[in-house]
Every structure is written in structure tokens, then in C-alpha cells.
Amino acid sequence: MKRSLIWLCAAMLPLCAAAQTPGLGKRATRHAVERLMMDNPPRLGLDTAATPEQLAEWRDSMAAAMRTLMRHPAAEAAAPVFESKVSRPGYTVERWLTYPLPGYEVPVLVLVPDRPHPTRASVICMPGFGQTKELLAGEPYSCYDLSAQPDSVTPRGAMARHFAEMGLVAVAVDSPCCGELSDNGYFDYLASSRFLLETGWSYLGLSSWQAKVALDMLRNRADIDRNRIIAAGFSLGTEPMMALGLMEPDIRAFVYNDFMCRTRERALVLNAARDNGARPYPNTDEHLIPCFLTTFDFPDIVAAFAPRPVIMTEGGMDRDFDMIRAAYAKAGAPDGATCIHYAKYADPADRQRLDTVPSGLDMDGFFRLANVDPPNHYFKAEHVLPWLRDLLESWE
Amino acid sequence: MKRSLIWLCAAMLPLCAAAQTPGLGKRATRHAVERLMMDNPPRLGLDTAATPEQLAEWRDSMAAAMRTLMRHPAAEAAAPVFESKVSRPGYTVERWLTYPLPGYEVPVLVLVPDRPHPTRASVICMPGFGQTKELLAGEPYSCYDLSAQPDSVTPRGAMARHFAEMGLVAVAVDSPCCGELSDNGYFDYLASSRFLLETGWSYLGLSSWQAKVALDMLRNRADIDRNRIIAAGFSLGTEPMMALGLMEPDIRAFVYNDFMCRTRERALVLNAARDNGARPYPNTDEHLIPCFLTTFDFPDIVAAFAPRPVIMTEGGMDRDFDMIRAAYAKAGAPDGATCIHYAKYADPADRQRLDTVPSGLDMDGFFRLANVDPPNHYFKAEHVLPWLRDLLESWE
């Protein structure tokens, strides 16, 4: 689908601002490479003027592009193997071994409720940076054999346990290099990302493939309805959920527990020089997928989930929420996208309402303009669970 | 060309060793990604059993693969513009402005000897990590307007000035993000590499393109013989020279001033855990070109220069020198590859002679096994200039 000229111009605006990286000499290579980024806006960026029919076509292109970028192996993974289980109040935790690559054994936890929800809905959960599947399951952080008693109160971040307590079969998957997949406890994401990038793959490619293999395991369970699978991600874990969201059209709903960010724009405006003169890139190589940001950005991806229900729990810019809601409305689901701001910015009067983010920011300055409250970045059970309750009701 | 099975097995040996990363848990993601690297050996790795005819074909494939990986822009660069010149004893330094990308102005120095060598030979020079073209030209490190008097004695690293003093027109080109191309003096290679990688390009892609634009400028000079251009790189600067070496068959000879390294093997064996548990990748993102190391490695590239003369000045493993010399012999130039070890390892009795490098090394351990003497990493004028004298004589 061809981008409309109007949208193209709108998309360029923040980039023009970014071009004025404060104090950057005109000969600096950085100037040239920023310009390269600006001259290559996402080729599949949402065209807000598109018709519903064009949007349907666009969603197909988005899915195809994500498949190309994620480079999932053509070979099927070996069948998962059941390893053990323990009983917890109200649910059972099963440990399964999955095999995303030959010789790569990835344990996965499956929380099976004693009283399944009548909809037989289920959920796949991915944790944040450095977190473990055990944390999602409400087990002690690194007790892989489930031998220690968990807290009797469900910890705030125990996404999968919250869901199981609502009657959902909940699968918790580690991110690569985390927990049991770490290098003896060292979260080895940088060197492993580099190895992956050298071979033409990426951390997100592997991460989403691990999740896909667990998703297939979930799909094959007799105790769930495979048309009622939800994908839930926290922070780093939202990325593989976004990837699967585009690639797997039968995922029925999404929990996006992070702020909604145009990551390309962020890279271009977060350019205040530190004391040593450095203007570092805002994230490290576990987020690098060559040509991802020249294809789409996060708000485009979530907009392409339409009409499948999504909850976004940690705000961001009204601009992006408006864009996503408009895409949902055109897909016939005007209430499909639930957009929740951080409590600190819940009142619209407290929010910045920018169309473009100015250049020359440091991380704190960026967060302020993007309505992000970093100390309160956590799994928002208080919003997700009521949303889920309503969703399940609508499925009954 | 299909790799022979024998060579494939030989190539796998160091990798089997690397698989035994000491203490790495079998479930570690790092284990899986190392395995991915091992399962994807360079598809164009030199087949030592190939016939001369097969090698000629292979060289074409190498050139084509390098062109694909470097992704040089299809659009021609704007014409260079002369800016200024200063007279130095025995030569003139000209400052030219080149335009590798629209809006990206890259100054280049051209040292023009008062008494040109009768062969009208010339050379393009690229500096090491963080160095400047001014250093190569023997000017003060960051005096871009050439207003300060240089040392009367030619500094050791002043590659281009050494060459000009021998009568060659010598072009000195900055690496991206260095010197005038830096961010106000900050060598901004990491963030700039990341921007490049995001768009599907790479630091080496840009670096070799900058060099290519300067090379074209050199080719168009009336005072040189365009069939007698030499490419000379020091350290980081050897990489763009290798890239151009494959892509530009009319470059006539090469100065490779670094140790000869199988960078893929190094990544796999440099895996001793530090105190914090980290096993970092041996270099940073200015060396990342996705799918480079699954295509070829440095010794393959230099072997593909055959029969064009090359001098390698800082040793490495006899295994790799032997392989390169054999390729030259098959190309009808048994003396074409001049292989010089560090003085410390000049005596074969002092050298390690391994076929495969064992796993579990830190940087010092690796350098010892690879016969590298890091404190003596510098431009080896004492070897390069006599070699060049002989080469020029052979051209007269």
C-alpha cells in the first residue's frame, strides 16, 4: 500500500527536528547516519487516510514483513516433553521442555487452573528485561525445580499466576539468556545478540521463535480453546508478543504492558550529549533487528492487531493512542483498543500532547514528554484483570 | 563453488573446541547461538583443494558477495571539490571535499610528491581505530586546516607521508566518526554504527564507501597511473581496504597492517568468563556486518586478492599465512604474499603453530596463541617501505 503524501510529511516532522541535533557539526558522520534514518521512514507505517479495505491489505503486508524480519526456522521444533508438576493453591504448575532449535532445550511453565474458566481461554506470557518465567508464575525468582514454596500472596508482577487465578491456562516463557537460559546466572543478552546478528538473525527473532514454540504447545492442549489464546508481554516481553501478534492471526487478544513508543523517533531525539560528549543509542543490541525500523514501528504494529482486543497499560503519547484507536475504529472495533495512561498522567491536563518530539533530549526529558513514569513501570494487574474479566464475559 | 568436504571438516574443528565453552550450562542460550555460528561456517571459505580455475571462479563469487554485503549506494557521489593546499618539504598536501552521501561532506587529504615516482604509482590509506587522516599525513592529529607545522621527522604512523616521500601520490581518508567526522571530537562509532545497522547498512559499508569515493577521486587524477593504485590500511583501516580489494579488481597491491585473524573463530574461543560472569564478544558494533562471517573471513578475503601483491606486517597464525600463500601459488604468484611476523615471533621456534585455537581464552591468552604482540601494534614502515621499493622496481 502506498503511503499518502500527507502522512509521509507528518512522519517526517519529528525527523526534521531530530536533524537539528544540538551542537552536532555538519560534517559529523552521525549527522549523515541520522539523515539516512530520516530518509528511510517505515515503508509500512500506518496510513491514517487508508480505507478499511486498504487497511485489511496493509495488515497482510505487515504480517508478511514481520515473518521476513523474524526469520523463524523452517524446520518444526521437536515435540515438547512433560517434565514435572507441583500443586499450588487453586492451580497446578507444570514444567515442560521445549526444543526451539536442535540441542536447545527451553523449559516452560504451564499454570493449569483447578477451575478452568468456561471460555477455556488461555494466555502466553513473556517477562521483562532480566526477569524469569518463575517470576511470572509467582514462584521464587530462580527456583527452577519449583521446590520452594511461593508467597501466599500473588506478587504484583506474577502475570501468569494472576491469569491462572482467573481460570486461564497460562504459559510462562523465558526470554533468551534469562533465568535457566542464562550463562550461570549472568544475563548474557549482549554477546548472544551479537552472535545472532552475525548469522543474520536477532535476539527478537529467537525470542519470538521461543514464544512461538511454546504457543504451539499451548495450542495443542486439549484443555484450551485454541481460538481464545491471549498474548501478554511485559516490557522487553512486549516485543516477541508484538511479533507473534502480526504473524499469528489466531491470537485473539493482547496485553501490552509498556508505554507505547515510536522507537525510531526516540532514537533520533534522544541525542543530548553527556559529559564525555557521547550521545548513546537509547537501547542495546537485544533490540536491534536490521531493517525493522525502516519497515514499521511499535504503534503501527499494534494498530495492525485491529480488530483484536488489546490493552495498553502504561500510556505514552496521545498522538499514538489516537492513531491506534482510529485503526481499530476502521476495523469495526471502536472499543477494541484500551489505552491507559500512567496514574501520574491519567488526567489529560497533566499530559504533554505533542505531535512531534523535539530533539536534544536525555532519557528523563524524553520520558517527561512521552508521559512516562519510569518508577511505576510494573505489571498493571489493576487494569489488566478487569479488562480481561470483561473480555471473557464477552466471549461467554 | 562447492566447498570440499575435507575443508569443511577442517573448518569445523576449531568450532567443536569452541562448543565446549568452559562451564557453560547446556541450556544457556549462548550455547545455542554459538552452535548456530558453528553450523553456518563461511559459505565462501577458501577450498584449499580447489584448482586454479575453480579459484578464479571463487574470486568472482567473493567479489560479488562483498558487493552485496557492503551495499554501496547506487547513486554516484557528487564530484569532489578542491579546497586548499599547503607546501611541505618534498610534497604538497591538498585538501579535497568529497560527498559520499547527499549532504555528507568528507574532507580528504592528498599528498602530492614534488618528484613523482616514474611509475606514477599512488596509494589510498585508511587509519586505525580513532586515528585521523591528519595523523596518516604526518600533520598534527586534529589540525584540520593544516595551519600548524608538522614534525620535521616523519612520525612512525604517518603512512601517507612515508609513501609521498617515496614519490607516490597518497590519499588519506578518515574512518567514519573520526577526526573531522567525529561528534565534536567524540569518536561516535557505536551510536553511528547502530543507526547504520538499523537501516540495514553497516559501519564497514559506509567506511568502504567513503574510501571508494576517495579512490574514484584518485583514479581521475591526471598525475597517476590508475592501474598502479595501492590500498593500505592500518588496524581498523584494513577492513575497508579488504572490502575494496575484493570489489575493485584494478587495485594493484595491498598493505595489510594488522595481524591476520579468523575473526569468527576468535569470537567462538574468546569465552573465558570475567569476574562478573560476562563472556563479552571480542569487538563492538563497528565490526558487525550481518552475514559477513557466514560468507567469508579475513584470511579468505586476502587469499582472494591473489595474484595481486600483498604485504601482511603483523603476523598471526602460520596456518593462515600458509593458506594465503598456497592460494597465491595457485594463482601463479608464489611470492605475491609477503608474510611478516611480529619481531617477538619472527623466529618460528617462538611461535605457536596451531591448526585450531582452543576454547576458554581471554584476550591475552588468545593473542599469545595467535602470535600477536599488542604493545607493538603500529604501522610497520620498516617492512612496508622496502617491500614497496621492490614492488615499484618491478613495475618500472
The ipTM (two decimal places) reads 0.94
Q: How far apart are CA A202 and CA A206, in angstroms?
A: 6
The model's confidence at residue B234, banded by pLDDT at 50, 70 and 90, is: very high
Task: Confirm if A294 and B200 have CB atoms less than 8 A apart.
Answer: yes
Search chain B and give the residue with CA nearest A210. B29
Q: Give the H or E element holding residue B336.
A: none
For residue B106 the three cell numbers come to 568528507
How many residues appear in chain A? 396
Q: How far is CA A79 from CA A112, A214, B28, B33, B60, in A?
A: 20, 10, 20, 21, 44
pLDDT more than 90, % of chain A: 93
**Where is average pLDDT lowest: A14-28, A222-236, B239-253?**
A14-28
Output the pLDDT for position A20. 60
Task: Confirm if B234 and B157 have CB atoms less than 8 A apart.
Answer: yes
For residue B238 the three cell numbers come to 584494513
Output the pLDDT for position A26. 86
Report chain A residues whose CB lies below 8 A from the CB of B24. Answer: 183-184
Residue B4 has pLDDT above 70, yes or no: no
Residue A3 has pLDDT above 60, yes or no: no
Output the pLDDT for position B64. 98
Task: Confirm if B259 and B370 have CB atoms less than 8 A apart.
Answer: yes
Q: How far is CA B102 from CA A102, A221, A391, B76, B78, in A?
A: 47, 57, 52, 10, 8
Report chain B residues whose CB lies below 8 A from the CB of A28. Answer: 177, 181-184, 188
Q: Average per-residue pLDDT in chain B? A: 94
φ/ψ of A232, rounded to 5, equals -130, 125
Task: Pick A198's closest partner by Cβ from B100, B183, B293.
Answer: B293
Report chain B residues whose CB lies below 8 A from the CB of A282. Answer: none
The model's confidence at residue A263, banded by pLDDT at 50, 70 and 90, is: very high
pLDDT 10s digits, B287-346: 999 999 999 999 999 999 999 999 999 999 999 999 999 999 999 999 999 999 999 999
Cross-chain residue pair A33–B185, CB shorter than 8 Å: no
Output the pLDDT for position B336. 98
Q: How far apart are CA A250 and CA A227, in angstroms?
A: 6
Task: Confirm if B253 and B227 have CB atoms less than 8 A apart.
Answer: no
The model's confidence at residue A10, banded by pLDDT at 50, 70 and 90, is: very low
For residue B271 the three cell numbers come to 569465552
Task: Confirm if B245 and B213 have CB atoms less than 8 A apart.
Answer: no
Q: Is B87 helix (H, G, I), strand (E, B) or coil?
A: strand
Residue B227 touches partner A, C-beta closer than 8 Å: no
Residue B18 has pLDDT above 50, yes or no: no
Task: Confirm if A194 and A133 have CB atoms less than 8 A apart.
Answer: no
> Angle at the Cα of B201 (from B197 to B204), degrees rounded to 5?
95
Report chain B residues whose CB lies below 8 A from the CB of A100. Answer: 32
Q: How far apart are CA B2 and CA B61, in angstroms?
A: 11
Residue B145 touches partner A, C-beta closer than 8 Å: no
Output the pLDDT for position B11. 37
Q: How far apart are CA B216 and CA B231, in angstroms?
A: 13
> Angle at the Cα of A22 (from A369 to A299), degrees rounded to 5?
35
Residue A5 has pLDDT above 60, yes or no: no
Output the pLDDT for position B25. 85
Cis peptide bond N-terminal to A307, omega within 30: yes
Residue B207 touches partner A, C-beta closer than 8 Å: no
Task: Pick A23's closest partner by Cβ from B100, B181, B184.
Answer: B184
Report chain A residues whose CB lies below 8 A from the CB of B278. Answer: 186, 188, 191
Report chain B residues whose CB lies below 8 A from the CB of A206. Answer: 29, 32-33
Q: How far apart are CA A302 and CA A306, in angstroms?
A: 8
pLDDT 10s digits, B135-175: 999 999 999 999 999 999 999 999 999 999 999 999 999 99
Residue A13 has pLDDT above 90, yes or no: no
* C-alpha R_g of chain A: 21
Q: How far apart are CA B260 and CA A28, in angstroms?
A: 31
> Sheet holding A91-101: strands in order across?
A78-88, A91-101, A104-113, A169-173, A122-126, A229-234, A251-257, A310-312, A337-339
Residue A119: closest CA among A240, A247, A253, A312 = A253
Indicate the residue type of A111.
L
Indicate the residue type of B48.
T
Search chain A and give the residue with CA nearest B294. A199
DSSP label at residue A2: P
Q: How far apart are CA A357 and CA B173, in angstroms?
A: 36
Task: Confirm if B95 and B84 have CB atoms less than 8 A apart.
Answer: yes
Q: How far apart are CA B243 and CA B162, in angstroms?
A: 24
Residue B5 has pLDDT above 90, yes or no: no
The β-bridge partners of B260 are B316
Residue B24 touches partner A, C-beta closer than 8 Å: yes
Task: Pick A176's closest partner by Cβ from B29, B35, B176.
Answer: B29
Cross-chain residue pair A37–B195, CB shorter than 8 Å: yes
Average pLDDT over residues B183-197: 96
Which residues of chain A from 54 to 83 reach within 8 Å of chain B, CB to CB?
none
Residue A249 has pLDDT above 50, yes or no: yes
